[in-house]
Amino acid sequence: SEAFDTLGLTNYMDIMRLITFVETTPATSDENVTVTDTKFSDVAVRLYLPRGAPGGLRRGMVFFHGGGWCLGDAGMKSYDHMSRRISNELNVVVVSVNYRLAPEHRFPSAFEDVYAVTKFFLQSRVLAQYGVDPARVCVAGDSAGGNLAAAVAQQLLEDPEVKTKLKAQILIYPVLQALDLDLPSYRDNENKPILPRSLMVRFWSEYFSSDPALREAMAHNRHVPAEAAHLFQFVNWSHLLPAGMRGAHEYRGPTLGSGALARRYPGFLDLRASPLLAGDARLRHLPHTYILTCEHDVLRDDGVMYAQRLRALGVRVTHDHAQDAFHGALMFNFWPMDLAVGHRLFSRYLEWVDENL
């Protein structure tokens, strides 16, 4: 991707999207689940309806796929497989959202899409149409989808038009802030597979702009202006991370950059992109939260710090940390991407949903 992009032959993300294209499957129903591609609030979604006798109202999940806001599709084999299992085994109506992707549609397009779908689904008449219990609905997502789920859960708290409250938010190795891209997890896992630091920086920058100046500043962690320095209190890993994750790293405080980039691209300081930057008054009202983090993942510390902040504010949090896992591991749970760690993490995910939704 980098070679083709450097030579000007095609856009970096166009090459990366070949993975999505190869992996995407059509909406196909089976004996357990009816699967359809439709639209909610004019946004494309893949809808999973369990066929079994309901035996009462069902649970509901609005799911947002990962892919750095630039890649991915609800119909990718891994996401389709997981949504089918959740729908069938736990009697859940799953709405998997195909939000608009960058770089064609930059921030806040993805957030606007997932928020519109969630608001639509939470309407009493829509929940009733699909037989969903309004007291048992959650938002969920992995990676960039976890970012969107966290942002949606926060925004719903302040939306007077939404009467239905979420029962839970599920954040699977979420990316939660663009403020400090030099956390211990970014250092320790800089070149590890699936999501090296350079790719995460590329995803972040493409989410906001194609301007190479922004990507360069983010790569050197010098993109935050002095006037936003107060926000670093929310990502100060010197006290938000346990000693074992801080390791031998020393906290030196932020290296501040020019305010010009923040004025041109204010999105990276926006709570809809960086929900970890929200103040305590907002966070303390969030619903029961499940967070999965993986040791060998640049995003590890985002999830750990969010769990720490929420717990300190009295939010019910279940934080599972997988010492032997890497970013994206949950998706490796069926052939040909079949790993024991993927099965274990997905089984735990199913178990938590079953017990808490």
Residues 6+ apart with CB under 8 A from 47: 35, 36, 37, 38, 93, 94, 95, 96
Whether 327 is a known active-site residue: answer: yes
Q: Which of 336, 323, 331 is nearest to 172 (CA)?
A: 331
3-state secondary structure of 153: helix
Cα→Cα distances 308→133, 183, 239, 280, 303, Å: 30, 15, 10, 12, 9
Dihedral of the alpha carbons of 272, 277, 280, 281, in degrees to the nearest 10:
-30
Catalytic residue among 80, 142, 297, 302: 297
d(Cα 174, Cα 299) in Å, to the nearest integer?
Answer: 7
d(Cα 107, Cα 97) in Å, to the nearest integer?
Answer: 16
Q: Which of 304, 245, 306 is nearest to 271 (CA)?
A: 306
> β-strand 168-172 against 317-326: which pairing, if any?
unpaired
Dihedral of the alpha carbons of 339, 341, 346, 348, in degrees to the nearest 10:
150
Which residue type is seen at 39? Answer: K
Catalytic residue among 143, 205, 209, 274: 143
Whether 297 is a known active-site residue: answer: yes
Whether 274 is a known active-site residue: answer: no
CB contact at 8 A, 55 and 316? no
3-state secondary structure of 37: strand
Q: Which of 139, 109, 235 is nearest to 179 (CA)?
A: 235
| Radius of gyration in angstroms for the set of CA atoms belonging to the chain, rounded to a whole number | 19
Q: Which residues are catalytic?
A: 143, 297, 327
